[in-house]
């Protein structure tokens, strides 16, 4: 079999390591074979490629950020000033340090939880090539070296390679500046008519924190061509600028163009959830489940909504659906245990928490599991076991204010009043916004 054909076959089957080895062996004999060079570059890029739309993290409270529109936005026009619901169980939903509610799964801009998978979109431009092998000579920068870099970027003539798509610099080398220069050259070569290069230029601008320039590029893209990635990236830019209404407008226009696209509806559901409009968010998630019955994020968020609305039986159905899909994580078994506890299925509660403890490796996650396990002990009437669970939770996470508060209440019930005030004071200092320690301290002072 021809080695180049074998390398192409390995690439199409996503066996990138073997494809790179075959290409390397070909380049040792024919070091200026541009077809093999391009294939190896593409394989090295795809081997480490992760969709940057779903893996990016939106910075919070950056005091050097100069893209903010207003320091005191009007109510309902900013996600940073959105207030949680004052009534109902959703008001007591756990939140991150920045005030955002913990979502059903990990997502950009929220607290990452180990063990959960991200539903990634494959939005990279497809490979284009010829059916027949064409040998073309390259430059000295293309020479493959065993102990050196595959491509000597400093020796590349970017103006020459601007005629062809290259994502190697951005994804594999992490050289954003040269990738941006290449995108600028390619955009000029195409007379500013190729929307794909404008998207790549916007990605480089975002990586360099040039948010307004990226906004202009993506606005220009939407005037030329409608693409799902363009809508999502422009939405993320407005979220980063803390303009949720503009982001929602872009999402709704994207839904009009692509009525059944799950990724755009997911962005819309996340936006409404960030603005504490949970009922509207659940409506979007239900629409997502209708279109994609295997969407883990939508199923988990619907189950979480039912749990905090005092419907643990319905939440249990959704979490069991996620478990049947093959997901096995600490958070999933923890939620299953809580749903079984509050739906009076006590025979299944302990095995779920036991499985969660077996899978937990992060001390902070184990602290949350022990804290939830204390509720099982309280429901069973075993106060000593509940105190032991809360003590283990505090030993793993010294900043767990809720554990300090519950531990104070249990010590008060068991007659050990010496530690009550100390635990309540610690809980109040660790989390001033937590209501329970303040009320308990007031009741304790009144009793004295």
Please give the Cα distance from 158 to 179 (Å, whole number). 9
The answer to whether the beta carbons of residues 26 and 36 sit under 8 Å apart is yes
Q: What is the rounded distance in angstroms from the CA atom of residue 447 to the CA atom of residue 25? A: 82
Question: Which residue matches tokens 């060079």?
Answer: 37
User: Is residue 71 predicted with pLDDT exceeding 80?
Assistant: no
Q: What is the mean pLDDT of residues 33-40?
A: 81
Q: pLDDT tier at 80 (50, 70, 90 boundaries)?
A: low
Average confidence score pLDDT of the chain: 77
More confident: 102 or 238: 238
109: left (phi over 0), alpha (psi -120 to 50) or beta: left
223 class by beta-carbon count within 10 Å (0-12 exposed, 13-18 middle, 19+ buried): exposed
The pLDDT of residue 275: 87
Residue 32: is its pLDDT beyond 60? yes
Give the chain's radius of gyration (CA, Å). 27
Q: In Å, how far from its chain's centre is CA 362?
A: 18
Q: Give how far Cα 235 sits from Cα of 83, 360, 409, Å.
A: 22, 34, 46
Domain boundaries, the chain: 362-448
Least confident of 214-223, 358-367, 408-417: 408-417
113-141 confidence digits (pLDDT tens): 333 333 333 233 333 333 333 233 333 33
Convert the pLDDT of each residue in 428-447 to its tens digit.
898 888 888 888 888 888 87
Q: What is the pTM of this model?
A: 0.72
What confidence category does residue 65 fall into, taking pLDDT thresholds of 50, 70 and 90?
A: low
**pLDDT higher for 292 or 209?**
292
pLDDT confidence tier of residue 286, bands split at 50, 70 and 90: very high
**Mean pLDDT across the stretch 182-209?**
83
In Å, what is the CA distance from 442 to each residue of 387, 399, 424, 447? 23, 22, 10, 9
As given in the structure block, the two tokens for residue 30 are 């024919």
CATH architecture of the domain formed by 362-448: Alpha Horseshoe (1.25)
Check pLDDT > 60 for residue 159: no
- d(C-alpha 135, C-alpha 33), whole Å: 6
For residue 222, is pLDDT > 50? yes
* pLDDT, tens digit, 9 for 90 and up, residues 327-362: 888 989 999 999 999 998 888 899 999 999 999 998
Residue pair 239/109 in contact (Cβ under 8 Å)? The answer is yes
């Amino acid at each position: 079999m021809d080695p180049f054909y074998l390398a192409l076959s390995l690439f199409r089957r996503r066996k990138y390591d073997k494809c790179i080895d075959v290409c390397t062996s070909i380049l040792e004999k024919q070091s200026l074979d541009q077809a093999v060079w391009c294939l190896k570059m593409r394989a090295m890029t795809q081997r480490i490629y992760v969709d940057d739309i779903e893996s990016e993290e939106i910075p919070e409270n950056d005091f050097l950020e100069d893209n903010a529109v207003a320091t005191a936005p009007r109510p309902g026009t900013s996600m940073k000033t959105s207030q949680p619901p004052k009534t109902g169980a959703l008001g007591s939903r756990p939140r991150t340090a920045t005030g955002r509610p913990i979502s059903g799964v990990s997502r950009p801009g929220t607290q990452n939880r180990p063990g959960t998978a991200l539903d990634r979109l494959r939005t990279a431009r497809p490979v284009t090539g010829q059916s027949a092998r064409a040998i073309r000579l390259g430059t000295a920068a293309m020479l493959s070296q065993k102990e050196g870099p595959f491509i000597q970027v400093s020796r590349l003539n970017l103006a020459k390679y601007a005629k062809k798509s290259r994502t190697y610099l951005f994804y594999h080398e992490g050289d954003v500046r040269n990738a941006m220069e290449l995108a600028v050259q390619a955009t000029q070569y195409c007379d500013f008519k190729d929307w794909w290069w404008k998207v790549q230029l916007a990605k480089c601008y975002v990586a360099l924190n040039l948010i307004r320039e990226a906004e202009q590029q993506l606005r220009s893209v939407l005037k030329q061509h409608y693409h799902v990635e363009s809508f999502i990236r422009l939405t993320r830019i407005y979220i980063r600028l803390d303009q949720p209404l503009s982001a929602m407008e872009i999402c709704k226009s994207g839904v009009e163009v692509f009525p059944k696209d799950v990724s755009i509806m997911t962005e819309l559901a996340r936006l409404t959830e960030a603005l504490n409009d949970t009922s509207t968010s659940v409506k979007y998630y239900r629409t997502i489940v209708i279109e994609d019955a295997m969407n883990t994020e939508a199923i988990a968020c619907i189950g979480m909504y039912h749990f905090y609305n005092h419907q643990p039986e319905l939440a249990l159905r959704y979490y069991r659906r996620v478990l049947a899909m093959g997901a096995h994580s600490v958070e999933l078994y923890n939620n299953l245990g809580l749903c079984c506890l509050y739906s009076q299925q006590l025979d299944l509660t302990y095995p779920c928490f036991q499985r969660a403890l077996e899978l937990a490796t992060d001390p902070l996650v184990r602290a949350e599991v022990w804290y939830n396990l204390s509720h099982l002990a309280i429901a069973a009437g075993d106060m000593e076991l509940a105190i032991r669970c809360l003590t283990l939770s505090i030993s793993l996470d010294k900043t767990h204010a809720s554990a300090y508060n519950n531990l104070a209440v249990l010590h008060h019930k068991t007659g050990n009043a010496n530690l009550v005030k100390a635990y309540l004071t610690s809980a109040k200092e660790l989390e001033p916004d937590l209501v329970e320690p303040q009320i308990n301290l007031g009741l304790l002072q009144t009793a004295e």
